[in-house]
Structure formats: structure tokens, C-alpha cells
Amino acid sequence: MGTIEWILVTIVALGFFISLFQGKKRKIKTSKYKRKTNSKNMIHRASSKCRSDEVILNSRLNDLSGAEFERLLALYFRDQGYIVKEVGVGGNDGGVDLVIIDKRGEKTAVQAKCYSDGNNVGVPIVRELVGAKRNHDCILSLLVTTSDLTLQAKKEAEQFKVDYWHGAIVEQKLKAWGKWKPVKKRNSQTKSAVNEILQSRLEAAATRTVICQCGSPMVKRKNNKTGEGFWGCSKYPNCKKTKPI
Ligand SMILES: [Zn+2]
């Protein structure tokens, strides 16, 4: 090889190494950036989403945010005599929200899922908890949800010895505890009942049906024996009122 070729090879090699070095630098930068935004999000979520303990203790489970549900459980377990570490404040949990330590020093990793009814906890959540409990030095694990687990998730939980509480059990335990007193929204309930009656009246008017004394629309029925038609209450058999057509 001549000197020119040697120079060319050196330039190419140098260029290669420089690009490698810069690539590394960029990677380090992005990972640093990611970490920063993550921790920012964590603080932000924890501070904005979690209302005071008093509000949380007077709220129904459906009205709590994820962070507030975690907080409620932390208060509950503390009163049951556990040492509670809130490890995943406000969503940045990595599979574990609380670590609870009983009097013998046994640690349980707790994952809390505040889901609305019908949104059941699936298999990935169970697996996440199984994987993450070791990071927190826990042997036992407990999944607590306001809804329920899917059938598949239950099987998975039993296989990996993950204890779980579904919504009904959670409510039962919290009620037995005595400090959780959810305020029932009576006003909105009566309002919605009134709305329902108005709605059914409007619907009846739109289709020109007859309204029963109980407020429900009446439907056309036929007397089996005589074959004669009559108006019968749509709430039959709860309401047995009829009207001739
Ligand atoms: Zn009626």
C-alpha cells in the first residue's frame, strides 16, 4: 500500500471512532434526561393528585386517584400494626406501591390498583408484582384492587402465591377498620332518580304512549282470553295498573 492509501484508511478509521464516541455521549445524555423527567413527574403527581388524609378517609373508593388509594391503604396498614414504606408514591411504582413489615419483620410487597368497576386487573400486573417484589427484598406479595382480577390473573396469582383482595374485600376491611367513612352523595342520587322519571315521561310523550300513575310508560298488551287490547304498566309485575285503550 502507498502512503495515500494509508492516509485514506487512517481518515476513515478516525471518522469511525469519532462517530462511535459521539453516539455514546448522546446515549448518556438521553438517559440522564429521562431520569430527570421521571423524577419530576413523580413529585408532580404525588403533590397534585393526593388530597389530605381527611378527604381521603371521607371519600368513596371510586372518587380516589391512584395515589390517594395507595395513601388510604398506607393509613390502614399502619393502624393494623405494620411499618409501612410508601415506595411508589403516585404511580412511579415499578410494580410495588407499599412495603409493609409486620412485627416479626416479615416484608410484604403491596401493589394497589384503583380501577373503576368492570376494569379488571390483568395478568401483566400480577407478573409485574412477582418480578418487582424481589427488588424490595420481599418474600410475600399482595395485590389490592378496587375492582377485581381477570380469571387468568387469578390463576396466575395463585400459581405465584400472590395474595389478592378484590373490591368487595377491600371495602369490608376498610369498613371494619372504622376510620374510613365514605360520604354518600345523596343529593345527586335523588337528582338522578328524578331525572330518570322525567326522562321516561319525555320518552313516553315522544312515542305517544300512555303514562301509568306510577310514572312509568304503559305498553299495549292483549287479554289472552278475550283478545282485547289494553294499556298495561311497563313495570309489571311490580305495578299491575291497567287502562282501557
Ligand atoms: Zn305503573
Per-residue pLDDT at 38 = 39
Give 223 Cα–ligand 1 centroid separation in angstroms. Answer: 18
Query: How many Å apart are CA 157 and CA 149, to the nearest integer?
Result: 9
**Do 110 and 158 lie in a common domain?**
yes
Residue list, CB under 5 A from ion ligand 1: 212, 214, 216, 233, 235, 239, 241
What per-residue confidence (pLDDT) applies to 6?
Answer: 74
Q: Are residues 219 and 161 in the same domain?
A: no
| pLDDT (tens digit per residue) in 91-112 | 555 789 999 999 999 999 999 9
pLDDT tens per residue, range 131-180? 999 889 999 999 999 999 999 999 999 999 999 999 999 999 999 999 99
216 C-alpha to center of ligand 1: Å?
Answer: 6
Instruction: Report yes or no on 14 lying in a domain.
Output: no
> In the 8-state DSSP scheme, what is residue 52?
-
Do 59 and 165 belong to one domain?
Answer: yes
pLDDT at 48 over 80: no
* 44 found inside a domain: no
Burial zone of 206 (CB within 10 Å; 0-12 exposed, 13-18 middle, 19+ buried): exposed
| CA 213 to ligand 1 center in whole angstroms | 6
The residues near 219 (Cβ < 8 Å, ≥ 6 apart) are 209, 231, 232, 233, 234
pTM value > 0.95 = no
Q: From ligand 1's centre to the CA of 108, what distance in Å?
A: 55
Q: State the distance from the centre of ligand 1 to the C-alpha of 37, rounded, in angstroms.
A: 61
* CA 238 to chain CA centroid, nearest Å: 37
Of 177, 205, 227, the position where a domain reaches its end is 177
Grid cell 403491596 — which residue? Answer: 110
- The residue among 210 and 121 whose pLDDT is bigger is 121
Q: Does a structural domain hold residue 94?
A: yes
Same domain, 60 and 173: yes
Domain span holding position 130: 54-177
Tens digit of pLDDT for each residue in 199-237?
Answer: 776 766 665 668 888 988 888 888 888 888 889 999 999
Strand-pairing partners, residue 77, are none
In a domain, 89, yes or no: yes
86 part of a folded domain? yes
Residue 11 lies in a domain: no
